[in-house]
């Protein structure tokens, strides 16, 4: 604990910038600089986020000797140039997902990060729920038996009505995929992380709830249904939607093995449901009951709910540990971000061609 605190800079002034800033503070890090679209917006955000100062622009921020870790929290189409800038400056980088809007660019960034030898992470933060870590440990220990059926959904409702729109709806800013690229990849990342399986092929149908929003033709999907297969022979299914009324942020999975099924719902993350033929049980986020690999992420006693911000805080804490030289298992990297881009690309291709398509490893 004698090391000086890590110094962070955040590019972006939206809601996710706030979430990152809280996690920086919880990690005992210093929030040095914030950069916005204009010097004024960066300055204003610096005040509201409690940063030491605002940067004139992203270039100034990444060049600052006061910044060790750059957080990219801007619209999707700007991720790649900003990440390149930060990597060129030799900085560690946390880039919001999706890492890039096409697989080639995502792969390029992952390569640059590897070459730079810095920490380069993507906040697939659902990995940081203690119950999720416990599920992964149970699978690794074989307690569920071979997993043969992997299924679930990620449903939101903020785009249920045709009057709602957002920069993500516009493929030019958000990328060719919207619902899948924004949230579907969270589910896929979580599935691969917990099960150790990798999606090898898939078939998908994308769907639009509202062909027009705010007077413009919608070119990105509101939802997608996917069937997939994995390198270990499992069959999978995923439903993604941003227009399912009443579902705020319902990421849920059931990973069914021959000995047990493991089910999780992000809206009730304190519980992991473990189904067995002779009875079902609930594993609570109880430090005393969790696998050691999970218990470290339980920072409150059982029954005192941890939530989304706690997971985000744990992610940034792990980034910080990795920056300091620890080998931190389970930290989602640019390689994971690049994989997400390949899966997204496969979903769009399958939907377009109405065929099964392979997903490059």
Residue number, 9 or 130, with CB nearest to a copy of itself: 130
Q: Report the sign of the C-alpha dihedral through residues 189, 190, 194, 197, in that order.
A: negative
Q: Which stretch binds a copy of itself (CB under 8 A): 32-40, 55-63, 83-91, 226-234?
A: 226-234
Which stretch in 116-124, 186-194, 220-228, 322-330 sits in contact with a copy of itself by CB under 8 A? Answer: 220-228
Applying the rule CB under 8 A, the residues between 304 and 323 that interact with a copy of itself are: 304-310
Total interface residues for a copy of itself by CB under 8 A: 92
When binding is defined by CB under 8 A, the residue of 4, 117, 245, 325 that contacts a copy of itself is 245
Q: Of 262, 261, 269, whose CA–CA distance to 285 is shortest?
A: 269
| Footprint of a copy of itself on 186-205 (CB under 8 A) | 203-205
According to CB under 8 A, which residues from 115 to 174 bind a copy of itself?
148-149, 151, 153, 155-158, 160-162
Shortest CA distance to 117 belongs to which of 86, 92, 80?
92
State the Cα–Cα distance between residues 55 and 65, nearest whole angstrom.
Answer: 12
Asked whether position 52 contacts a copy of itself by CB under 8 A, the answer is no
Among 14, 22, 41, 165, binds a copy of itself (CB under 8 A): 22
Give the residue, chosen from 99, 226, 335, 340, that forms a contact with a copy of itself under the rule CB under 8 A: 226
Closest to a copy of itself by CB, 114 vs 300, is 300
Among 95, 137, 129, 109, smallest CA distance to 319 is for 95
Residues 95-124 that bind a copy of itself (CB under 8 A): none
Name the phi and psi angles at 263, rounded to 5: -125, 140
Largest CA distance in the chain: 63
Contacts for 353 with CB less than 8 Å, ≥ 6 apart: none
Residues 6+ apart with CB under 8 A from 279: none
Answer whether 46's CB lies under 8 Å from 54's CB: yes
Which of 37, 63, 227, 293 forms a contact with a copy of itself (CB under 8 A)? 227
For a copy of itself, which residue of 34, 73, 169, 234 counts as binding (CB under 8 A)?
Answer: 234
Q: How far is the CB of 209 from a copy of itself (least distance, A)?
A: 5
Q: Torsions phi, psi of 214, nearest 5?
A: 50, 40
Angle at CA of residue 232, ends 228 and 235, nearest 5° = 30
Residue 96 and residue 175 in contact, taking contact as beta carbons nearer than 8 Å: no
Q: How far is the CB of 323 from a copy of itself (least distance, A)?
A: 17
Nearer to a copy of itself, 71 or 250 (CB): 250
- Given candidates 237, 321, 330, 349, which one binds a copy of itself under the rule CB under 8 A? 237
Say if residues 264 and 257 touch (Cβ distance below 8 Å). no
Helix (H, G, I), strand (E, B) or coil at 136: helix
Stretch that binds a copy of itself, among 32-40, 212-220, 236-244, 325-333 (CB under 8 A): 236-244
- Measured from the CB atom, the residue of 76 and 242 that comes closer to a copy of itself is 242
Render the burial of 351-361: b for 16+ CB within 10 Å, e for the rest.
beeeeebebee
Q: CA-CA distance, 300 to 285, in Å (whole number)? A: 9
Local structure of residue 73 (DSSP, 8 states)? -
Kindly state whether residue 248 participates in binding a copy of itself, applying the rule CB under 8 A.
yes
Nearest CB to a copy of itself, comparing residues 84 and 205? 205
Nearer to a copy of itself, 30 or 120 (CB): 30
- Cβ atoms of 39 and 57 closer than 8 Å: yes
Nearer residue to a copy of itself within complex by CB, 173 or 249:
249
Using the minimum distance from each CB to a copy of itself, give the nearer residue, 84 or 210: 210
Residue 7 pairs in a beta bridge with 30
Question: Scanning residues 255 to 294, which ones bind a copy of itself (CB under 8 A)?
Answer: 256-261, 266-270, 273-284, 286, 288-289
């Amino acid at each position: 604990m004698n090391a000086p605190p890590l110094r962070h800079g955040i590019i972006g002034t939206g809601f996710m910038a706030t979430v990152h800033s809280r996690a920086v503070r919880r990690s005992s890090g210093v929030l040095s600089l914030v950069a916005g679209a204009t010097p004024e917006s960066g300055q204003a955000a610096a005040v509201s986020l409690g940063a030491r100062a605002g940067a004139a622009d992203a270039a100034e921020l990444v060049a600052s000797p006061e910044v060790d870790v750059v957080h990219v929290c801007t619209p999707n189409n700007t991720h790649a140039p900003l990440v390149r800038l930060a990597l060129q400056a030799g900085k560690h980088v946390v880039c919001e997902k999706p890492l890039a809007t096409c697989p080639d660019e995502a792969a390029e960034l992952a390569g640059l990060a590897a070459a730079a030898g810095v920490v380069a992470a993507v906040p697939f933060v659902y990995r940081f729920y203690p119950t999720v870590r416990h599920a992964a440990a149970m699978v690794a220990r074989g307690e569920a038996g071979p997993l043969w059926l992997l299924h679930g959904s990620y449903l939101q409702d903020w785009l249920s009505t045709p009057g709602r729109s957002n920069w993500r709806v516009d493929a030019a800013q958000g990328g060719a995929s919207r619902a899948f690229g924004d949230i579907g990849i969270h589910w896929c990342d979580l599935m691969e992380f917990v099960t150790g399986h990798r999606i090898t092929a898939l078939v998908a149908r994308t769907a639009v709830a509202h062909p027009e929003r705010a007077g413009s033709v919608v070119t990105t999907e509101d939802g997608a249904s996917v069937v997939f297969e994995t390198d270990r022979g499992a069959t999978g299914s995923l439903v993604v939607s941003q227009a399912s009324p009443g579902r705020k942020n319902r990421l849920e999975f059931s990973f069914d093995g021959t000995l047990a099924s493991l089910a999780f719902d992000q809206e009730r993350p304190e519980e992991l449901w473990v189904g067995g033929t002779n009875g079902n049980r609930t594993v609570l986020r109880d430090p005393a009951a969790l696998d050691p690999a999970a218990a470290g992420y339980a920072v409150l006693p059982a029954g005192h709910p941890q939530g989304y911000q706690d997971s985000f805080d744990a992610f940034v804490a792990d980034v910080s540990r990795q920056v300091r030289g620890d080998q931190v298992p389970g930290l989602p990297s640019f390689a994971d971000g690049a994989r997400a881009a390949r899966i997204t690309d496969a979903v769009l291709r399958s939907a377009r061609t109405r065929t099964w398509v392979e997903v490059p490893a």
